[in-house]
Structure 1
Amino acid sequence: MRRIMCCVLCLLLLSTWVHAQYQRRPIFTCGGNFSAESGFIGSEGYPGVYPPNTKCVWKITVPEGKVVSLSFQFIDLESDNLCRYDYVDVYSGQVSGQRLGRFCGTFRPGALVSSGNKMLVQMVSDANTAGSGFLAAFSAVLPNEQGERYCGGRLDKPSGSFKTPNWPEKDYPAGVTCSWHIVAPRNQIIEVKFEKFDLERDNYCRYDHVLIFNGREIDDARRIGRFCGDSPPAPILSDGNQLLIQFLSDLSLTADGFIGHYKFRPKRFRTTVAPLTISAPVVTTRATVLNYSAALCQQKCKRSGTLESHYCISNFVITGTVITAVAKGGSAYITVSIINMYKEGELTVQQAGKNMSTKIVILCKKCPFIRRGLNYIIMGLTDEDGRGIVGPQNFMLAFKAKNQRILTALKNQRC
């Protein structure tokens, strides 16, 4: 009997250890040497915010007679038309070899192939960081060999389906990215419904997730939603005749995946969302945000109220440093490195070590007016994707040390 109990205990301990190993996520460091048939490289701390003032170099070597194929699974660096600030360079051979490209922002290029069996990847960041960095997969292929295509592609038939790799026989694989570009005739829009949906669960959908954008490019200003977990998203209607659906899985846990269906619909049947009133507690969709912004930006810019009067009616309250600010249309899209968080609400926060950051939309780019590199107290609403939303009626103020005592007192009181 004692021997049986010992065996059972050993099996339980072994099961616990295996489960812990399975859930352990890869740790990406600044650069390294890789000699293998295949593998992954990622920015330091990925998927958290990459550190400032760094230069990281990854050297990839595959067996003789083969070449290196590199595919970016994810990229989110500070955006600049000339990629002058934060960027990734990819070279065939060493740094003195042919540069295959320089990349920044969220543009994900196609596969990059070296001329020989070596490739060098170099990432540079300036004093201000701006995103989650990058994740890329490399593999050894024969010259001119076409890599295996798991999923994705252009969908232009009046109706159809899309699904994760291996559906429905088994879980989707780790470390894949699939992009479906759905294109309807110009006078039609696209409706998308998910029949089944099961991805790794995370409160902020940082790991395995689906992103859906209006149009054909990855653009936060046109993002409809970010989804994960096991609850299918509500039916989605595009603004125009194109949608981009992107699925990404990281290198750890996987799940069943999903199957979704789309169909084209005449524009005249599209439903619209009424603009929110100023008193509404949450901005629910991107379309609503744009309507909301257009109405508010007609008003004279004037801050009203106090820290105390806005604290309880705000979804989130933080102090932080504006590290990026990009104007799109009449709004500004900013990344904030968080100093202190007094009220989190549904705000999506990215964390890398002790550093936390979040993305916020300033509905009217000149009201309140913000400057990169300065510290602010920010109070506002959140949309369904967890982005902060700040309009002229919300409260934003240059942060000074004396404000910290007031905010700490407000944090300790009950609303």
Structure 2
Amino acid sequence: MKKLNYWILLLVAAMLMPALTVQAKGKKDKNVVAEQTTGAQDREQWVKWLWKISYPVIHNLAEGTLHQNMPIETVGGDPAGYDEITHLEAVGRTLAGVAPWLALPDDDTEEGKLRKQMQEEVLKGLKNAVDPNSPDKLNFTKQAQPIVDAAYLVHAFLRAPKALWEPLDEVTKQRYIESFKALRDRTGAYNNWLLFTGLTEAFLMQQGEKADQFRLRVSKNKIQEWYVGDGWYSDGSKFSMDNYNSYVLNPMMVAMMETLVPFRWASQKEYEQALRRMVRHAEFCERLIGPDGTYPAFGRSVTYRTAAFQSLADAVLREKLPEFIKPAQVRCALTAVHRNMYEGNQNFDKDGWLVLGFNGHQPEVADGYTSTGSLYMATLSFLPLGLPADNPFWTDEPADWTTKKAWKGEKIRKDYKVEY
């Protein structure tokens, strides 16, 4: 009898072994959502991931070693031409994402100490970036690409004026203003690029400069004209199915309109309409996140990674989520996405710089205009870190997001076209 029991136990163990092996393997699988965590734990992880992405750019700019140390990876392998533009890309895009976090008041927490350190290095780096004697002076005068990334830098100043703009000395401020005005001798593509010029001109107006009214008017009017409905803009005269509604169109349209309202270049009604459209687009972004924290890689510029969720992150930061989307479900969804992307090192080289790809080193999916600096738009999904730690986004109990509930067969809200 004992011998029979022994063989039964062996048989059961043999049957269970594959399942146990898969289970053990699953714990290491980067696409397996970890055990449920608290909002405080999530925030700690977000800070770690944002630091991991952004610190090489910020620290090297502060030290005057960005041009020296940042690699320039391109699809073709030749850095020629990209070496004039990729550093401004890295700086503008990084700061647009970290700005709300840096805007929080100082505190003595471990997070607060990190934030203070980063802010000090950012301010030092911002001075270097326009100092004619700095080895890291950024290019605003050659090629058209600086039109794009000056606007991301402007967006950072608009998101954190007291942390990033007001502390700059007057000489440095004036150097930025002249750098932004110098962009007027070039034009870019007749699509989302119009918003880059519009946002920059709006900022110049805010700073008491005389804006290029034609550029501003064309930007505002054409983007409004290109709205196709349900939270989506056409990227030019023809619609493109990609993530540019999050990368650029919705968040920058809202920022531009918001900046123009006090000068009566946009009405409060126009600003609120743009905001409603972004919030509607944010609903789609939330539904794009799968139950396991993955999302589809479609359209051009997928190498911008989690910037695909800027509309959602911006709506969270502004505390404008629809009442049927709970802050905690977005926190949990974005935590799952960030974990899949940034917990491992598949998206970083040995020195911690982002590599071309979607989720790994996949240079074949990069576009011809993409280089290492382009990738730092990834920080834009971390905007909710600008909410204090005691905000409901961080303190509410964990909650499932829409697709997770849908695939579990739970009750979900019916979705339908919205007219704005």
User: What is the TM-score of this pair, normalised by structure 2?
Assistant: 0.27
Structure (1 or 2) with the greater helix fraction:
2
- Pick 1 or 2: higher relative contact order, CA cutoff 8 A, min separation 6: 2
Structure (1 or 2) with the greater strand fraction:
1
